[in-house]
Amino acid sequence: MDKIFRVNMTDLTTTTEEVPLEWVGLGGRALTSTIVASEVIPTCHALGPNNKLVFAPGLLSGTAAAQSGRMSCGAKSPLTGGIKESNSGGTTAQQFARMGIKALIIEGLPQEDKFYSLHVTKDSVTISEESELIGKGNFAVIEDQMAKKGDKVGVMTIGIAGELKMAAANISVKDPDGKIRSHGRGGMGAVMGSKKIKYITVDAEGCGPLQLADSDKFKAASRVFAKSIMDHPVAGEGLGTYGTNVLVNILNEAGGLPTKNFRYGQFDDHDKISGETMHDTIVARGGKPKHGCHKGCIIQCSQVYNDKDGNYVTSGFEYETIWGMGANCCINDLDAIAEADSLMDDIGLDSIETVVMFGVAMEAGILEFGDSQGILRLLREEIGQGTPLGRILGSGTGIVGKVYGVTRVPVVKNQGIPAYDPRSVKGIGITYATSTMGADHTAGYTIATNILGIGGHVDPLSKVGQVELSRNLQIATAAIDSTGMCVFIAFPALDIPECLPALIDMINARFGCELSGDDVTELGKSVLKLERQFNLDAGLSNKEDRLPEFFKSDPVLPHNAVWDFTDSEIDEFWNF
Amino acid sequence: MDKIFRVNMTDLTTTTEEVPLEWVGLGGRALTSTIVASEVIPTCHALGPNNKLVFAPGLLSGTAAAQSGRMSCGAKSPLTGGIKESNSGGTTAQQFARMGIKALIIEGLPQEDKFYSLHVTKDSVTISEESELIGKGNFAVIEDQMAKKGDKVGVMTIGIAGELKMAAANISVKDPDGKIRSHGRGGMGAVMGSKKIKYITVDAEGCGPLQLADSDKFKAASRVFAKSIMDHPVAGEGLGTYGTNVLVNILNEAGGLPTKNFRYGQFDDHDKISGETMHDTIVARGGKPKHGCHKGCIIQCSQVYNDKDGNYVTSGFEYETIWGMGANCCINDLDAIAEADSLMDDIGLDSIETVVMFGVAMEAGILEFGDSQGILRLLREEIGQGTPLGRILGSGTGIVGKVYGVTRVPVVKNQGIPAYDPRSVKGIGITYATSTMGADHTAGYTIATNILGIGGHVDPLSKVGQVELSRNLQIATAAIDSTGMCVFIAFPALDIPECLPALIDMINARFGCELSGDDVTELGKSVLKLERQFNLDAGLSNKEDRLPEFFKSDPVLPHNAVWDFTDSEIDEFWNF
């Protein structure tokens, strides 16, 4: 029988609860969002005692299904003020699922000014005081815990950013190789820091494989599913070869690569930071162009990036990070960006929020556009030290804009807008505007259909069809995020007819149920609607479903495109 | 014929316009809010080109009516994100009215990174580049302009806070003695700074007295009105003797004097910062216990506060400032508070927002509770120098809370909650929650009836009658703010039957119209409703009409009171 672990940090107690009937069919984002929506007062202070931090593996996590190792983390976000789900690779989703942990709910705030750690096994959660690792970076925490608890221990940890409750703080997760993945967006690390939990370790020793309702049917569906991924040109080849950074040249070509804090749509030095250049650099330095964020990943969009001397620098080196510190900050030095990526992992910063923020910091005159060494210094000496300037920067894009009186501030619901210009790729603008998560490309990745020709083609420069495209993708993504699957399975799901039925077959074979495609769509819709209602109740009205006004007034080259959706056109998104 | 002056800072042009028919009957807050609501896009960036800064004298400004010298300033607020009206004494309301300037509307943003000044005469507005006074404090600006343009020149100016677009920046105004009054709340100084206007000077030379439709009727009504003020024990005596700081002992006695960042309702050292102590200190040092913020003020709640050597330190030394740096920061040194008041005037900071902010800064550990010298240092060396820490602090209470992850942050709509604990004085809590201005005691000063016995008595600790009380006072205040009258005329208006009819008679005699008391009430209602609609359109839903959750969870001594209004009880405010 699956169970819920509940940790009360106010009185430092833990309980084990049965899974309520209405949560049995849920996992991942559907479950974290349901728990947050039902147990958290929407108007509460995100860092106060009434917020809860919830971890839940997906419906297929713990199985042998390809790409099923994503863990969802949910809470009210200190960054957006709305609901947040942020999922990550690593090892904990599979560990939780195998241990029968449907969700871990952390509530309350300690009464004393001390830090703690949690240790999760199949039987219980143990709370311990922690002092030794306070102030330490995430790599040190992972190293320390692997030394003490073995290489297979799962680790979810916060760096100095989370300890200081910075709104850009993420929760870092140990991947199977002891590297770092992240529950990146929305300040989940600040929520964990507010609850004074430095790290959570997970030990699944002694747990056998998951029991499946129909293992033959599961295996058959799983093979079809995996084949559909490998047969897809982007999921099966492009991502594995160049990583997500394959997108630099593609977006530059499309004129949608935001450059100099969203002034231009193309970056002269795009070649120097492209996926192709990165691939060749990795190979030449003996790194790994392919790497998985969790066991069972066959897409392998991660990589191991070494320095000139062949020493490890970073992995999980994503397009959005490279774009943001690269084109958006006018920096063409991939090594400096890799170093910053590693620092952000160690400090525990969302690497999207942080690089978008640096664009605004440059706008504010805190440093010059192009100053890669300035960024490294600010990360090390200001954010990493928690100085006043560091705290401003660690608070994310919106706060830097407010504190320095900047008007060109690319945020929606106070969350930094990622790597795709919404004027030149209008579908993603609808996603940014309407997502319950704040500006988030993964919430409904229209780049697939606007730019990559996946799932058909919708002209990126026209308004026609974008609302419907974003809506369909956001519904599908909310469902996918509930399965524990990586978001990239959307690509084969859109193009290869066998993919989605196989995914549903796997769920049915896992649980012995009879879900249809319509049921999955309904799940996605219901997740979006309950998240939306939470946000409305928290005070985020449809007036927050808007892009910053400079996208309307400032055309972006090369297409001279502006954001031209009316408010009512955007609001049609919610007509379902 | 009255006129509108419009200044376009984008192309540096000025125009003179006829007063549209629908604005003819409006003045002060009614006019600034009408102009902002009709011309400013509610979702615009408050520091961007689409915001407008509007100045308008009240309907009775420029006449000989007592207390009629208040100027309204309106814009979208960078602090609250909603509409803002902030009125001030000084000389400009009377100058504008005598020159027939119904309103001055400043729009656009300069394209070059230069500062400017405006000079307003009865015929035109002149825009000049300004460099000499950039970086200078408000006292220096006023001194310089008086030297250049004569003692009678009107001055509205921003200090370093406004130049840096800090959200706590005010617009400082020269009073008749060359001292400083302020358009204090809501960051109007940041809006002026965003438009790169360092100061506005006003020259009304050559303008005779206002022409009145019926000067005999006006004089008669004016005498009745003035007598009603002087006959009132608070308006005619208490305020003139002890200033607004008469309230320290009164609120302490009532258990509603927020202490140590709203932890307690009483301050052990209240005597040391009380109005009585202040009065004796002023008299002993040869200062002035009575002083008016504008010509024609007969209440004289301002004062001239000298240091131990008899040298001028500050005037307009208000209860809210003294409470905030005093009880709320646990400081009992009135001289240090006076010095800080002068510094805030010079830097151009809202002295309410700033002292509430210091309570949260102490909560955050930036300095210790009780550290008066620390506050003076932070004002001089951080905020006054625009350092990163200074910028955080200058951004106001809410931002300090966010950047430092503090949960005990007394704000509504991101504006700091002033000097009256809403748990112990529940009517003012309804005003804080519902005011279109964010937390603002002046918007509906229930302290009158909850504590001072003016206009009857409503038990401050009971919920009964508070919503109606706040509603009636907010409606009346919106009307008073439209007349150019000081808010303290509400006291005689509530208690002395002749006062309000005399006020209406003066308006009718001024314009030759036939307004009734009901018309004035309707004006107040319509102002509130259009401000509310602007806020809703800007994204401030009823979920923003709430007090921070700690007021619900943390009882305050001595009454052990909590904030116990339900959301729907609060929302009843808008049923009119």
Both A363 and A465 in one domain: the answer is no
Nearest chain A residue to B168 by CA: give it. Answer: A403
Q: What is the CATH number of the domain that holds B391?
A: 1.10.569.10
Note whether B24 and B151 are same-domain residues: yes
- Chain A residue numbers with beta carbons less than 8 Å from the beta carbon of B537 are 543
Distances (CA, A) of B161 to B22, B64, B74, B384: 36, 35, 18, 7
Nearest CA to CA, how far is A434 from chain B (Å)?
14
Q: Tell me whether residues B405 and A544 touch, CB distance under 8 A.
A: no
Domain endpoint, select from B147, B182, B202: B202
Q: CB-based contacts of B237: which residues, under 8 Å, 6+ apart?
A: none
Q: What is the ipTM of this complex?
A: 0.95
The answer as to whether B124 is a domain residue is yes
Instruction: Encode burial over B547-567: b for 16+ CB neighbours within 10 A, e otherwise.
Output: bbbbbbeeebeebebebebee
Are both B399 and B472 inside the same structural domain? no
Domain end position, chosen among B176, B202, B228 = B202
SS3 label, residue A171: strand
CB of B499 less than 8 A from some CB of A? no
Number of Cβ within 10 Å of residue B491's Cβ equals 25
Predicted pLDDT of residue A208: 87
| B221 falls within a domain | no
This prediction has a pTM of 0.97
Residue B61 domain-assigned (yes or no): yes
Q: Which residues pair with B197 in a beta bridge?
A: B116
Q: Which residues from B are below 8 Å from A166, CB to CB?
A: 405
Q: What is the CATH number of the domain that holds B545?
A: 1.10.599.10
Q: Of B165, B541, B548, which has the smallest distance from its Cβ to A405's Cβ? A: B165
User: Considering only CB atoms, which chain A residues are within 8 Å of B161?
Assistant: none
The Cβ of residue B535 has, within 10 Å, a number of other Cβ atoms equal to 27
Q: Does B500 map to a domain? A: no
A2's tokens: 């699956």
Alpha helices (runs of H) in A164-313, residue ranges in sequence order: 188-194, 215-231, 233, 239-242, 247-254, 275-284
User: What separation in angstroms does the CA of A351 have from each of A74, A273, A391, B420?
Assistant: 18, 16, 16, 43
Give residues with Cβ within 8 angstroms of A174, minimum separation 6. Answer: A90, A91, A142, A146, A153, A154, A155, A156, A157, A180, A181
pLDDT score for B208: 87
The string of pLDDT tens digits covering residues A249-300 is: 999 999 999 999 999 999 999 999 999 999 999 999 999 999 888 999 999 9
Q: Chain A: nearest CA to B175, how far in angstroms? A: 29
Tokens of B417: 């909650």
Query: Residue B36, Cβ neighbours under 10 Å: how many?
Result: 25
CA B361/CA B349 separation, integer angstroms? 16
Residue B473 Cα to chain centre, angstroms? 16
CATH code for position A153: 3.60.9.10
Q: Do B543 and A45 make contact, defined as CB atoms within 8 angstroms? A: no
β-pair type (A83-88, B3-8) = unpaired
Q: Identify the closest residue of chain A to B165 by CA–CA distance.
A: A405
CB contact under 8 A, B546 and A387: no
Give yes or no: residues B380 and B408 share one domain: yes
Q: Within this chain, do residues B357 and B456 fall inside the same structural domain, yes or no?
A: no
3-state secondary structure of B175: coil
A208 belongs to a structural domain: no
B546 and A41 in contact by Cβ < 8 A? no
A404 chain-B contacts, CB cut-off 8 A: 165, 391
Show the domain range for A441. 422-495+514-576
Question: Per the domain annotation, does B147 fall within a domain?
Answer: yes
Contact at CB, A405 and B549, closer than 8 angstroms: no
Chain B residue closest in CA terms to A193: B405
Contacts of B540 in chain A (CB under 8 A): 539
- pLDDT tens, position by position, B355-406: 999 999 999 999 999 999 999 999 999 999 999 999 999 999 999 999 999 9
Share of chain B above pLDDT 70, in %: 100
Say if A389 is an interface residue toward chain B (CB within 8 Å). Answer: yes
Asked if A386 is an interface residue toward chain B (Cβ–Cβ < 8 A), one would say no
Boundary-marking domain end, from A405, A420, A435: A420
Average pLDDT, rounded, for chain B: 97
**What are residue B47's phi and psi, to 5 degrees?**
-105, 10
The reply to whether B410 and B446 lie within a common domain is no
Q: In this complex, is the C-beta atom of A367 within 8 Å of any C-beta atom belonging to chain B?
A: no
Task: Check CB contact under 8 Å for A193 and B405.
Answer: yes
Q: Are A293 and A240 in contact (CB under 8 A)?
A: no
- B214 domain-assigned: no
Give, as one character, the DSSP assignment of residue B68: -
Whether residues A540 and A438 share a domain: the answer is yes
Say yes or no for a CB contact (<8 Å) between A407 and B546: no
Residue burial B115-140, b: 16+ Cβ < 10 Å; e: rest: bbbbbbbbeebebeebeebeebbbbe
pLDDT at B313 over 90: yes
Contact B387 A391 (CB under 8 A): no
Angle between helices B28-39 and B517-538 (to 10 degrees): 30
Ordered DSSP codes for A443-485: GS-THHHHTS-TTS---TTS-TTHHHHHHHHHHHHHHHHHHT-
Residues on chain B touching A391 (C-beta within 8 angstroms): 392, 403-404
CB A56 within 8 A of CB A31: yes
B13 — phi, psi (to 5°)?
Answer: -120, 160
Interface mutation vs chain B, best among A195, A399, A407, A546, most B CBs within 10 Å? A407
Nearest CA in chain B to A386: B404
For residues B157 and B178, state if they share a domain: yes
Q: Are residues A411 and A353 in the same domain?
A: yes
- The C-alpha atoms of residue B138 and residue B346 are separated, in whole angstroms, by 5
Asked if residue B439 and residue B369 are part of one domain, the reply reads no
In the predicted structure, residue B229 carries a pLDDT above the cut 90 = yes
Same structural domain for residues A393 and A249?
A: yes
Residue A195 domain-assigned (yes or no): yes
For residue A144, the surrounding DSSP H or E stretch is helix A138-149
B548: closest CA of chain A, how far (Å): 8
The pLDDT tens digits for B491-527 are 999 999 999 999 999 999 999 999 999 999 999 999 9
Which residues of chain B have a CB within 8 Å of the CB of A388? 387-389, 392
Structural domains counted in chain B: 3
Residue B114 near residue B195, CB atoms below 8 Å = no
Rounded (10°) CA dihedral B532, B538, B542, B548? -110
Pick out chain A residues at pLDDT < 50.
Answer: none
Q: Using 50, 70 and 90 to split pLDDT, how confident is the model at B1?
A: confident
Task: Provide the chain B residues 153-182 that lie in CB contact (below 8 A) with chain A.
Answer: 164-167
Arithmetic mean of pLDDT, B133-154? 97
Q: Is residue A403 within 8 angstroms of chain B, CB to CB?
A: yes
| Domain identity same for B417 and B436 | no
Task: For residue B43, give the nearest of A540, A543, A553 by CB distance.
Answer: A543
**CB of B383 less than 8 A from some CB of A:** no
On the question of pLDDT at B475 being above 90, the answer is: yes
B539 and A541 in contact by Cβ < 8 A?
Answer: yes
Residue type for position A130: E
